[in-house]
Amino acid sequence: MEFSTAGMELVKKSEGFRSRVYLDVAGLPTIGYGHRLLHPESFPNGIDEPQAAQILASDVREAEQAVQRLVKVQLTQGQFDALVDFCFNLGAGRLASSSLLKDLNAGKYDDAVEQLLRWDHASGQENSALKARREAEAELWRNPAVQQQAAA
């Protein structure tokens, strides 16, 4: 299964594009569409949108692979998209150790989506942007009409 256009639109909307390095909500250096800089990455002159889109595609592939590796049950396209966005945003490690994944792999899909909605805090405080993102993921999760159009 591949990340759909609807999933990619959610990532882009949630992250927004920034051509220069900034600190994300967790205080980590980030650029483009939410790409966290890892040593030795450096973009002293910033990046343009096509570069950001290429980096995003690579980051999304990593998130797709993590979901495919960790999830042991069948997923709808919307569920897959929601989990890829979650992994992109929070990292595969957070999914791997979560009650969300435990419930999902036990076939408790309704419990899993409720767990997804709990991931709306940053620095111990509810974050409105994260709350909106988790709600958008839950909407994808619950939507059987999401088409499997691979994101470009």
E strands, 37-145, are 121-122, 125-126
Measure the CA–CA gap between 136 and 151, rounded to whole angstroms: 17
Please state the separation of Cα 46 from the chain's center in Å: 23
5-142, which class in CATH? Answer: mainly alpha
Tokens 């256009």 map to which residue? 5
pLDDT band of residue 145 (cuts 50, 70, 90) is low
pLDDT at 122: 85
SS3 31: strand
Q: Which residue has the higher pLDDT, 123 or 92?
A: 92
Q: Which residue has the higher pLDDT, 144 or 79?
A: 79
Q: Which residue has the higher pLDDT, 122 or 117?
A: 117
What is the phi/psi pair of residue 121, to 5°?
A: -115, 150
Residue-wise pLDDT tens digits, 3-48:
999 999 999 999 999 999 999 888 899 999 999 999 899 999 999 9
* pTM of the model as a whole: 0.91
pLDDT at 144 over 80: no
Q: Tell me the catalytic residues.
A: 15
- Cα 36–Cα 101–Cα 139 angle in degrees, nearest 5: 75
pLDDT at 100 over 50: yes
